[in-house]
Structure 1
Amino acid sequence: MMNDGLTLDQIQLLLTVADEGSFSGAARKLRRAQSAVTYGVQKLEQQIGVALFDRSGYRPVLTEAGRALLARARRIAEEAAAFRDQARSLAGGLEPELTLVLDSMFPMPRMVDALRAFTDAFPTVPPRIFVQSLGASAELVLNGTCVIGLVPEPFSDQPELKRYPLSTVQLLPVVAQDHPLAAIEGAIPTDVLRRYVQLVLTDRSALTEGRDYGVLSTQTWRLADLGTKHAMLLAGLGWGSMPTHLVADDVDAGRLKLIQPLEFEDHTARLVMTAAHLAGRPLGPAAQWMLNYLRAQSPRG
Structure 2
Amino acid sequence: MPGLIQQEAFEVLEAIDRFGTFAEAAAALHRVPSAISYVIRQLEADLGIEVFDRRRRKAVLTPAGRLLLEEGRRILTANRETRAAATRLARGWEPELRIAIDTLIPRGMLWPIVSICREELPFIQIHILEETLGGTWEALIEERADIAIGADDAPLHRDIEAIGSMTVEFVYCCSVNHPLAHRAGPITEDALKKFPAIVVSDSARAVTPRSIPRSLLDGQPRITVSHMATKIDAIRQGLGVGYCPRAWLVDGLAYGLETLDLETPRPPIDCNILLHRSRRGRTLDWFTQRLMQIDGVRKF
TM-based fold match above 0.5: yes
- The equivalent of 1:284 in structure 2 is 281
| Deviation of 1:266 (Å) | 3.5
For 1:277, the aligned partner's letter is: L
The match for 1:230 is: 232
Aligned position for 2:76: 77
Alignment of 1:1-301 (within 5 A): 3-95=2-94, 97-152=96-151, 154-156=152-154, 158=156, 160=158, 161-165=160-164, 167-203=166-202, 205=204, 209=210, 212-216=213-217, 218-219=219-220, 220-244=222-246, 246-248=248-250, 249-252=252-255, 255-267=256-268, 271-278=269-276, 281=278, 283-301=280-298
The whole-number CA distance in structure 1 between the counterparts of 2:125 and 2:15 is 30
Equivalent-residue separation in structure 2 for 1:227 and 1:250 (angstroms): 9
* CA-based RMSD: 3.1
Q: Which runs of 5+ in 1 are unaligned?
A: none
Moved more, 134-143 or 63-72: 63-72
1:36 is displaced (CA, Å) by: 0.8
Using the aligned pairs only, state the percent identity. Answer: 24
Count, aligned residues: 293
Amino acid at match of 1:28: A
Contact 2:170 2:266 in 1 (8 A): no
Distance 1:185 1:19, change over 3 A: farther
Instruction: Report the CA distance shift for 1:37/1:179 in structure 2 as closer, same or farther (over 3 A).
Output: same
Distance 1:234 1:137 in 2: 26
Change (3 A) 1:106 1:21: farther
Instruction: Quote the offset at 1:81 in angstroms.
Output: 0.8
Q: In the aligned structure 2, how far is the partner of 1:45 from the partner of 1:84?
A: 28
Once the two structures are superposed, residues 149-198 of structure 1 have per-residue CA deviations (whole angstroms, 9 ceiling, x without a partner) of: 1124x424747543233644443322223322224245322221111111
Matched-pair contact (CA < 8 Å) for 1:103–1:131: yes
Give 5+ residue unaligned stretches, structure 2.
none
Point out the structure with the larger helix share.
1
- Deviation at residue 102 of structure 1 after TM alignment: 1.3
Secondary structure at the residue paired with 2:110?
helix
Q: TM-score, normalised by structure 2?
A: 0.81
1:81–1:194 distance in 2 versus 1, CA, 3 Å: same
Q: How far apart in 1 are the matches of 2:208 and 2:150?
A: 12
Normalised by the size of structure 1, how large is the TM-score?
0.81
User: CA 1:59/1:188 → structure 2, altered by over 3 Å: closer, same or farther?
Assistant: same
Name the CA distance, whole Å, in 1 between partners of 2:169 and 2:49.
65
**Structure 1 CA distance for aligned equivalents of residues 44 and 172 of structure 2:** 70
Closer, same or farther: CA 33–240 of 1 in aligned 2, 3 Å: same
CA distance in 1, matches of 2:198, 2:141: 28
CA deviation after TM superposition for structure 1 residue 83, in Å: 1.5
Deviation at 1:74, TM superposition (A): 1.5
